[in-house]
Amino acid sequence: MKPLISVILPIYNVEDCLPRCIESVIRQTYTNLEILLVDDGSSDGCGKICDKYAKEDNRIRVIHKSNGGLSDARNQGAQIASGQYITFIDSDDYVTDTYVEYLFNLLEKYHTRMSLCTHTIVFESGKNIKIGQGGDEIQTSEQCLERMLYDDVINTSAWAKLYEAEMVRRFPYPVGKLFEDIATTYKFFMSCDKIACGYENHYFYMLRNTSIVYQKFNSKKMELLEMTDIMAGNVIKEYPQLSRALERRQVYARFSTLNQMQDVTGYQEEKRMLIQYIKQHKACIIENPKAPKRDKLALLVLSMGYPLYRLCWKIVGK
């Protein structure tokens, strides 16, 4: 018999799209599932929706808890999971009917402790961007880390991955922090000699107006820098040969934070420090053939002055 797999859905105030997510899990062709719905203190109708589905499918377990944030919900789900393997699905997203089967087949094919698939970005406008181009392969920990650091198909997300359960419990997500996946996913990669990588799009990532990238800037978003720098400090101890890739990722984190501050008054000192950091580390972009072209273009425009950079970013955003 195939092993039990725990599917963990952290849930908070997403009643409009929660049924679509749960139903996509119920329809999985891999049926030996434990479906954990972690209601993280939702104030809308999510709790009732979870209870309704639990009555209809005996594979579903509902955990109602006080609000502790995404990391806390994932951690609690992982702690009580009975499955040999764990996968996370964010409750405003959804998956194909073969999502779990695809990830499990990759584990079996390559005899690894972890597998991943690619995803489709779905915008509220209806536009889709497909990340994967098909095929699969086995990659070393170092190869996966480097590709993650360059945003080369492999990303830092907790979702669209299948893990050994004990590995997930060994590295809990940091409670109370934004960008918790940046602080954790690299640890999973580093715990594996090999990772099974599949490039079929079995996960649908919903980029909504309420997504963190679209939310008004506040000081919590500066945690992207903290999470990225901690990751860089830990990875370089094990893989010093990835120093250039790590430096690129740290510069990218500054660009990303600067971009989210475009329409915010104040934070002038923070903006100055971000721009100074980027310029001080520009060599890791300019002299690096693996750095994405968008990095090089952003650096070129910023060198012409922040007002022009801000204008260009607004145009790109539209």
318 vs 316: CA distance, rounded Å = 5
**Mean pLDDT on 153-166:** 97
DSSP 3-state of 21: helix
Residues 6+ apart with CB under 8 A from 185: 148, 156, 157, 158, 161
Alpha carbon 282 to its chain centroid, in Å, reads 26
The alpha-helical segments, DSSP class H, found in the chain are: 18-26, 46-56, 70-80, 99-110, 141-149, 165-170, 185-191, 223-238, 243-260, 268-280, 283-286, 293-303, 306-317
pLDDT at 235: 98
Exposure b/e, 253-270, CB count within 10 A at least 16 = b:
bbbbbbbbbeeeeebeeb
Bridge partners of 8, per DSSP, are 36, 88
Q: Which residue has the tokens 């720098």?
A: 229
Average pLDDT over residues 138-165: 97
Give the pLDDT band (50/70/90) at residue 101. very high
8 DSSP 8-state letter? E
Report how far residue 74's alpha carbon sits from residue 63's, in angstroms, rounded to the nearest whole number. Answer: 11
Cβ–Cβ < 8 Å for 120, 207: no
pLDDT for 124: 85
Residue 315 binned pLDDT confidence (cut-offs 50, 70, 90): confident
Give residue 214's pLDDT: 60
Predicted confidence band at 318 (pLDDT cuts at 50, 70, 90)?
A: low
- What SS3 state is found at 262? coil
**Cα angle vertex 110, ends 108, 185, to 5°?**
95
Residue with tokens 């049924």, as numbered in its chain: 19
- Do 97 and 71 meet the contact criterion of CB atoms below 8 Å apart? no
Is residue 215 pLDDT above 80, yes or no? no
3-class SS shares of the chain: helix, strand, coil, % to 5: 45, 20, 35
- Of 201, 192, 285, nearest to 246 by C-alpha is 285
Between 25-29, 168-172, 198-202, 216-220, the lowest mean confidence (pLDDT) is in 216-220
pLDDT higher than threshold 90 for residue 181: yes
Phi, psi of 293, rounded to the nearest 5 degrees: -60, -35
> What is this structure's pTM?
0.94
Dist. CA 91–CA 74, nearest whole Å: 12
Residue 217 token pair = 């800037």
